[in-house]
Amino acid sequence: MTTKPNARAAAGSVDRRALRDGVYDAVLEMLLDGTTPPGSSLSIDSLARELGVSPTPVREALVQMEHTGLVSRTALKGYRVAPPLGPEQMAELLDARTMLELAAVERAVPHTESFLPDLKIAHAEHVLSAHRVRRRQQQHGQPPKGYADLREYFNADWEFHLVIIRAARNRFLLQMAESLSAHVHRLRQSADLGVYDLDQAVAEHAEIIAAFESGDDLAPVEAMRSHLAGVAERSLEQA
């Protein structure tokens, strides 16, 4: 059977988009693991060679990333990793996150019974990853430096929040949360929190679980509000 020209074009478009998305994910990983710290230059040709692709998907991925604010482009100079978030940007990001997550908690409350086991599992993973960071800290005599050393802990922390956001059963809230996730990690880098709020975050997550278990529909919202207020206070203190 002969493939129609428009079908071939559509298939080519999908393949190109998949390649661009793969490059986007690879570059994002570099930004978050400390490989390319804030202010670093991003060469399209160098990235293409490193990733084994042509410059075109790299260029497309960086254009897409520019819209998120993670990279910036200067005429005649190319792309650079965006500088650390300033206090004003941090405050705006924390405000946006609070609005989104409180709305998600409100919508998740009626479904508590169905997602509470997953939330407890996510919390257990968070506690375990926190223990590993503490052990690493004790072995080295100081907090581990860089996002790579803390990635497991950060991912476990964020997964706890995502369980609740998914339980809100609103695809657009989830999409907005996922679009914020890279910025949340950048906030941690900018604030240089490291492990300084580790114990507080674990304890506050436990309080959120207890609030969901209480049967009081308002308690989870207040517990999340208190947790995010603590995150904001600690972040801005370290900025």
Cβ neighbours around 149 below 10 Å, total: 18
Q: Does 129 lie in the same domain as 61?
A: no
Answer with the residue of higher pLDDT: 138 or 166.
Answer: 166
Of the candidates 18, 49, 81, which is a domain's last residue?
Answer: 81
Q: Does 77 lie in the same domain as 92?
A: no
Number of domains in the chain: 2
CATH no. for residue 218? 1.20.120.530
Residue 164's pLDDT is 98
Residue 59's pLDDT is 93
Q: Does 94 lie in the same domain as 32?
A: no
Cβ neighbours of residue 76 closer than 8 Å, sequence gap 6 or more:
none
- Please tell me the distance from the alpha carbon of residue 208 to that of residue 223, in angstroms, as a whole number: 5
73 is written with which tokens?
A: 């482009």
Instruction: Tell me if the pTM is above 0.85.
Output: no
Q: Which of 5-19, 57-71, 159-173 has the highest mean pLDDT?
A: 159-173
Q: Does 77 lie in the same domain as 118?
A: no
Residue 141's pLDDT is 64
Answer with the residue of higher pLDDT: 35 or 229.
Answer: 229
Q: Does 128 lie in the same domain as 43?
A: no
pLDDT score of 48 more than 90: yes
Q: Does 104 lie in the same domain as 18?
A: no
Answer whether 213's CB lies under 8 Å from 201's CB.
no
Across the chain, mean pLDDT equals 85
- Please tell me the distance from the alpha carbon of residue 16 to that of residue 21, in angstroms, as a whole number: 9
CATH no. for residue 15? 1.10.10.10
pLDDT score of 233 more than 80: yes
Residue 189's pLDDT is 62
Of the candidates 16, 47, 81, which is a domain's last residue?
Answer: 81
User: What does the pLDDT average to over 143-169?
Assistant: 82
Q: What digits encode the pLDDT tens for the residues 97-148?
A: 999 999 999 999 999 999 999 999 999 999 999 888 888 777 776 655 555 5
Q: Does 132 lie in the same domain as 74?
A: no
Q: Does 91 lie in the same domain as 70?
A: no
Q: Does 218 lie in the same domain as 114?
A: yes
Residue by residue, DSSP assigns the chain as -PPPHHHHHHHHHHHHHHHHHHHHHHHHHHHHTTSS-TT-EE-HHHHHHHHTS-HHHHHHHHHHHHTTTSEEEETTTEEEEPPPPPHHHHHHHHHHHHHHHHHHHHHHGGGHHHHHHHHHHHHHHHHHHHHHHHHHHHHHTSPPPSHHHHHHHHHHHHHHHHHHHHHT--HHHHHHHHHHHHHHHHHHHHHT-TTTTHHHHHHHHHHHHHHHHT--TTHHHHHHHHHHHHHHHHHHHH-
Answer with the residue of higher pLDDT: 78 or 138.
Answer: 78
Q: Which of 28-32, 60-64, 136-140 has the highest mean pLDDT?
A: 60-64
Answer with the residue of higher pLDDT: 69 or 144.
Answer: 69
Of the candidates 61, 81, 101, which is a domain's last residue?
Answer: 81
Residue 10's pLDDT is 45
Residue 112's pLDDT is 98
- Please tell me the distance from the alpha carbon of residue 226 to that of residue 70, in angstroms, as a whole number: 28
Q: Does 232 lie in the same domain as 123?
A: yes
Q: Does 132 lie in the same domain as 52?
A: no
Owning domain of residue 157? 87-238
Q: Does 215 lie in the same domain as 165?
A: yes
